[in-house]
């Protein structure tokens, strides 16, 4: 295993990502962003999908950004959110057969 692979499977990094995704609203947010064209969504479009105060939605998005699941870019008065595929790759590696959370000999298909 290379040092890059070890960094990819760092338990602290993986735990931070799992913690950020430990709320159904945040999982739904990531799914919504992933399904948009270019995997990028404006806060205004995301806000239309949730019946909650904007401050609560902002809080969820901030957690995802701080964990590295999403990146944020300010454009005028709106923030745009994009999937960080490196974070998704870390989760995939942790959950992949042979990864730290899966036995290489098991399959869950």
Interatomic CA distance for residues 65 and 20, integer angstroms: 9
Among residues 64, 81, 66, the alpha carbon closest in space to that of 22 is found at 64
Rounded to 10°, the helix 54-67/24-35 angle is 80
Strands (E), 1-109: 40-42, 70-75, 78-83
Residue 99 has pLDDT above 50, yes or no: yes
- The string of pLDDT tens digits covering residues 44-83 is 999 999 999 999 999 999 999 999 999 999 999 999 999 9
- Which domains are assigned to the chain? 3-95 (1.10.10.10)
State yes or no: pLDDT of 109 exceeds 80: no
pTM: 0.81
């Amino acid at each position: 295993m290379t040092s890059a692979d070890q960094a990819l499977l760092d338990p602290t990094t993986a735990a931070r990502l799992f913690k950020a995704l430990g709320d159904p609203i945040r999982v739904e947010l990531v799914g919504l962003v992933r399904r948009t064209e270019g995997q990028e969504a404006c806060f205004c479009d995301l806000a239309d999908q949730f019946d909650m105060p904007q401050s609560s939605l902002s809080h969820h998005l901030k957690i995802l950004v701080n964990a590295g699941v999403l990146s944020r870019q300010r454009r005028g008065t709106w923030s745009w959110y994009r999937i960080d595929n490196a974070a998704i790759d870390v989760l995939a590696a942790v959950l992949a057969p042979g990864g730290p959370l899966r036995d290489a000999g098991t399959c869950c298909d």
